[in-house]
Amino acid sequence: MSEWKARRFWKAAAAEPATGGWCVTLDGKPVMTPGKLPLILPTEAFARAIAAEWEAQQDVIDPLSMPLTRAANSAIEKVTPQFDAVAEMLAAYGGTDLLSYRATEPERLHERQCAAWDPILDWAEARHGARLTTTRGLMPVAQDAEALARLRAPLDGLDAFRLTALHDLVTLPGSLVLGLAVLDGRLTAAEAHALSRVDDEFQAEGWGRDDEAETAAANRLVAMENAERLLKLLAS
């Protein structure tokens, strides 16, 4: 038996004003989240971008081609009711931040990591007053509690949509600092992604590229760029 797939049933998608923000309508009927909650969006630009995703659907609906819609659904249904838990989970990445762990060998890799990552740690110290400790090897290094608290503080000032965007910008590279740098405009998503792959690129130069790993990396980049786009739409 073939798997049932949802099909396009509307003629036109549009963004319209709604109580508390903006909504997306399909032939005049507001779109709801999968859990039947109102899809209320904070900016017109965000609503128009989501409407464009719906308008671009062909006969069969492809959810993977609708990253902004999926992000909005997650923000409303998942992040909003457990905001503090999500913020705490993302903040925990500061304690094991990718940028804190440097290679023991070869020395060329360690030097490359320092050259790439130290400027971003310097930025975090200047911007947030938080200096993370670095170490060589994989043994856990204890971070200063005050530094971690200062890196967490910006998360409390976000709304659910921005925290949803930050989720991919932190979890995919494995770095709270990189995520905050994109949030603040210090880095682009592509730059943060490249910094998260210093080790991978070093290994690829010596041993060649693995197609499966390259595909996974490309998918992470797309997800991070979608998150960055969401942040820009929220600022519009």
Residues 98 and 157 grouped into a single domain: yes
Q: Is residue 8 part of a domain?
A: yes
Q: Decide: 187 and 97 in contact? Cβ < 8 Å.
A: no
Distance CA(173)–CA(224), nearest Å, equals 9
Structure tokens at 144: 């200063």
Confidence of residue 5 (pLDDT cuts 50, 70, 90): confident
Confidence of residue 75 (pLDDT cuts 50, 70, 90): very high
Structure tokens at 104: 């023991």
What is the pLDDT, as a whole number, of residue 1? 42
Distance CA(101)–CA(223), nearest Å, equals 24
Q: How many domains are there within the chain?
A: 2
Q: Is residue 224 part of a domain?
A: yes
Residues 107 and 25 grouped into a single domain: no
Residues 109 and 216 grouped into a single domain: yes
Residues 50 and 96 grouped into a single domain: no
Q: Is residue 76 part of a domain?
A: no
Residues 105 and 189 grouped into a single domain: yes
Q: Is residue 71 part of a domain?
A: no
- The pLDDT of 15-38, averaged and rounded, is 97
- Provide CB contacts within 8 A for 15, sequence distance 6+: 22, 23, 24, 25, 44, 47, 48, 50, 51
Residues 109 and 210 grouped into a single domain: yes
pLDDT in tens, 179-221: 999 999 999 999 999 999 999 999 999 888 899 999 999 999 9
Count of C-beta atoms within a 10 Å radius of residue 131: 16
Q: Is residue 165 part of a domain?
A: yes
CA 125 to each of CA 48, 75, 81, 134: distance values in angstroms, whole numbers, following the listed order: 37, 29, 32, 13
What is the pLDDT, as a whole number, of residue 24? 98
pLDDT in tens, 144-155: 999 999 999 999
CA-based radius of gyration for the chain: 20
Q: Decide: 71 and 226 in contact? Cβ < 8 Å.
A: yes
Residues 53 and 11 grouped into a single domain: yes
Distance CA(210)–CA(203), nearest Å, equals 10
pLDDT in tens, 167-177: 999 999 999 99
| Residue range(s) defining the domain that contains residue 168 | 82-234
Q: Nearest-CA neighbor of 127 among 147, 156, 97?
A: 147
Residues 19 and 120 grouped into a single domain: no
Residues 61 and 88 grouped into a single domain: no
User: What is the average pLDDT value for the chain, to the nearest integer?
Assistant: 96
Element (H, E) at 71: helix 67-74
Q: Nearest-CA neighbor of 79 among 189, 175, 165?
A: 165
What percent of the chain stands above pLDDT 70?
Answer: 98
Q: Is residue 72 part of a domain?
A: no
Question: If you write DSSP's letter for every residue of 128-178 in order, what string do you get?
Answer: HS-----EESSS--PPPHHHHHHHHHHHHT--HHHHHHHHHHHHTTT-HHH
106: preceding bond cis by omega (within 30 degrees): yes
Residues 117 and 7 grouped into a single domain: no
Q: Which of 9, 33, 65 is the last residue of a domain?
A: 65
Residues 120 and 55 grouped into a single domain: no
pLDDT in tens, 179-189: 999 999 999 99
Q: Nearest-CA neighbor of 219 among 52, 101, 67?
A: 67
Q: Which of 65, 91, 118 is the last residue of a domain?
A: 65
At 32, which CATH number?
Answer: 3.30.2180.10
Q: Is residue 75 part of a domain?
A: no
What is the pLDDT, as a whole number, of residue 4? 56
pLDDT in tens, 89-107: 999 999 999 999 999 999 9
Residues 42 and 104 grouped into a single domain: no
pTM of the model: 0.94
At 110, which CATH number?
Answer: 1.10.3580.10
